[in-house]
Chains A and B, each alone.
Chain A
Amino acid sequence: MIRDSQDVIVKTLSRLLVPFMVIYALYVIMHGHHSPGGGFQGGVILAAGFVLLVVSHGLEQTRKRLSEKAAGVLSSIGVFIYAGIGALCLILGGNYLDYGKLSKLLPVVPAEARSLGILGVEIGVALAVMAVMFTIFLVIFTVGEFQEDDRSEK
């Protein structure tokens, strides 16, 4: 269903635009606490980059970069980072997601530990959102054909 597009304009433009998109998504994630954006929005922009890749370069090219299995693993890793940082604060004697307590592990003052903790949580959220969005898009876009391919591989 999603075959390689033969259009030169779409292919060239997406080849230029996808790296910019990934860098912009990283910027949105990193600057989430003093400009609009954050983990969720950055993850959505990352997933949009993969959607553009599927539409312009076909499913096979995209599978080489991010397979469905890798997307599933990445979504679990994202949730694990989020919950892990929360539980780490709990173990260090604070509340759940009380980032100030991370200063016992990191050689920084509590205020800076708070900033770093929020950044870590946002990276986790972004990974989870990116992987889940990509999986949902693939499942909707390749109705049925997706599972046949899966079976033939086994």
Chain B
Amino acid sequence: MNDFFLILSVGMCVLVLFCLYRGTFGPGVLNRAAGISAIGTKTLIILLLMGVIYDRIDMFIDISIAYALLNFIGTVVLAKYIETTGEA
């Protein structure tokens, strides 16, 4: 069963690379913001899968909730900045 979650995590890491491409070269600021936000969500899932693999899911859930909250705030602040400066 652990092999299944390990393969799933590796697949998630490959998906992060696609989002990283969008975050680096994506045309415009909004594409970049969306790419970075998607990377944050995937990191969350990878953290939880690590928790399942190491059999300490109770610890990793705490970390991932905090990560999700900070990721959301980061995206909102970035959107506010774009709104204020008018760079779309």
Contact = CB atoms under 8 A, between A and B. Distances in A.
Nearest to A137: B77
Given A17-B69, A45-B69, A48-B70, A36 B59 contact: yes
Contact of B65 (A10, A24, A52): A24
A113 interface: no
Interface in B59-85: 59, 62-63, 65-66, 69-70, 72-73, 76-77, 79-80, 84
The A interface, classified by DSSP as helix, strand, loop or mixed, is helix
A21 interface: yes
Nearest to A1: B84
Interface residues of A, number: 19
A47 B20 CA distance: 29
Interface string B26-56: 0000000000000000000000000000000
Interface string B3-26: 000000000000000000000000
Given A51-B77, A52-B72, A55-B77, 12 more contacts: A1-B84, A2-B80, A5-B80, A10-B79, A17-B69, A24-B69, A28-B62, A35-B58, A35-B59, A35-B62, A37-B62, A55-B76
Interface of A: 1-2, 5, 10, 14, 17, 21, 24, 28, 35-37, 41, 45, 48, 51-52, 55-56
Interface of B: 58-59, 62-63, 65-66, 69-70, 72-73, 76-77, 79-80, 84
